[in-house]
Chain A
Amino acid sequence: MSCSRMETKILAYVDGRLKDSERLDVEKHLASCAACKVRATEFRAVNSLLDELPQIEPSPAFDLRVHALVAAEPVKRAWWSSLMLSPRVAFAAAMLLLATAWIGTRGPEAPVIAGPDAAVVENADYDVISNFAPLSDLSQASDDDDDSDTSSGNGVGTSATPTM
């Protein structure tokens, strides 16, 4: 092995990162080359000097600051999430949909018209409004219920103020 080839191997040799076959090649060269042997020894010395540098500890607030930065990040939403509704709106939409479906299943109903032979129920317990006062007697009618009965011909008044 040449000295120039040693350049790419020597640090890995010092670190113990070479394969066995490569390590043996390097050791063979070092045995015959004083310059490379000195270099290997000094690289090893540099390596242990670098070990002497003290480590520093991150400040106590470091984690808090990172978490605060992360918490301040805008939440990324998928494209479809913009279509999602709030629960209240979703509930209202569901109710509307149900109501529409219910109406749709009932279909149009024909109005019921009584035939000419429909029996008239006599003496039914109808609550007939018959005590309306005539429009002209509005001011008096409220005072005299009995009189208003006799004055209305068909028994059904047109007044907007029934006196029951």
Chain B
Amino acid sequence: MARSDVQLMLDVKAGDETSFALLLQRYRRPLVNFLYRMVRNREQAEDLAQEVFLRVYRAREEYVPSAKFTTWLFRIATNLALNSVRDTRYQRLEVSLDAPVTVDAEDGEEKVLDVAEKHPNIEQHLVDETRVQMIKHAIDKLPEKQRAAVLLHKYQELDYGEISKILQCSESALKSLLFRAYESLRVELAPLVARQAR
């Protein structure tokens, strides 16, 4: 039977390094994806995810299972992501408008969109890419805290209690935050939503 996150963390606290490796294996993918969607840069997302794991390891001696492990883990990740987004906000404004159009490949690496690229069904591929880009763009346009709330709610499937602890707000404030985020998304994605809602 698989050990719970809390048990693994208590084992790490007791000096068991293999339990740390198991936690790393369990959470590296969700963390990297969450951070990637927050900071919009794969390399930076991995750096931040490494920092999250390092902080978890450093805090092992003082770890007390007073909350769910995921709440603690994603609280560290969210704080790091929000700080990073705020730090790089002004750098992003300086990005040249002449920069080549890029898309995110399936492996997550950004690459320059090459229309002449050989593909079995280039038209469908471009439609799909455009659709994905629209969704990404809509998420990117959300204010950071709304974005974090949507990502934690949608992709990590955390309950309202956990997310409100991570974002350090009340549950009712979180519900309002999510409502505003979904309102923005349905406006931003209106053409896709209309087709989807039919």
Contact = CB atoms under 8 A, between A and B. Distances in A.
Interface of A: 7-8, 10-12, 15, 17, 39, 41-50, 52-59, 62-63, 65-67, 69-70, 73, 76
A42 B175 contact: no
Contacts of A10: 179
Given A43-B186, A58-B32, A7 B135 contact: no
A57 B29 contact: yes
A66 B107 contact: no
Interface string B134-153: 01100100000000001001
Interface stretch (B67-75, B82-90, B189-197): B189-197
Contacts of A7: 175-176, 179
A50 B132 CA distance: 9
A108 to B, nearest CB: 52
B29 A55 contact: yes
A17 B28 CA distance: 27
B58 interface: yes
B28 A63 contact: yes
B122 interface: no
A73 B17 CA distance: 13
Interface of B: 20-21, 24-25, 28-29, 32-33, 36-37, 42, 46, 49-50, 53-54, 57-58, 61, 104, 106-108, 131-132, 135-136, 139, 150, 153-155, 159-160, 172, 175-176, 178-179, 182, 185-186, 189, 192-193, 196-197
B106 A62 contact: no
B152 to A, nearest CB: 12
B28 to A, nearest CB: 5
Given A42-B193, A58-B32, A69-B50, A11 B182 contact: yes
Contacts of B37: 53
Nearest to A71: B17
Contacts of B42: 56
B32 A56 contact: yes
Nearest to A44: B197
Nearest to A38: B197
A69 B47 CA distance: 11
A70 B23 CA distance: 13
A62 B185 contact: no
A74 to B, nearest CB: 10
B106 A54 contact: yes
Contacts of A56: 32-33, 36, 42, 107-108
Given A11-B178, A56-B32, A73-B58, A49 B24 contact: no
Contacts of B50: 62, 65-66, 69
Nearest to A63: B24
A46 B46 CA distance: 27
A70 B54 CA distance: 6
A58 B186 contact: no
A46 B189 contact: yes
A49 B33 contact: no
Contacts of A46: 182, 185-186, 189, 193
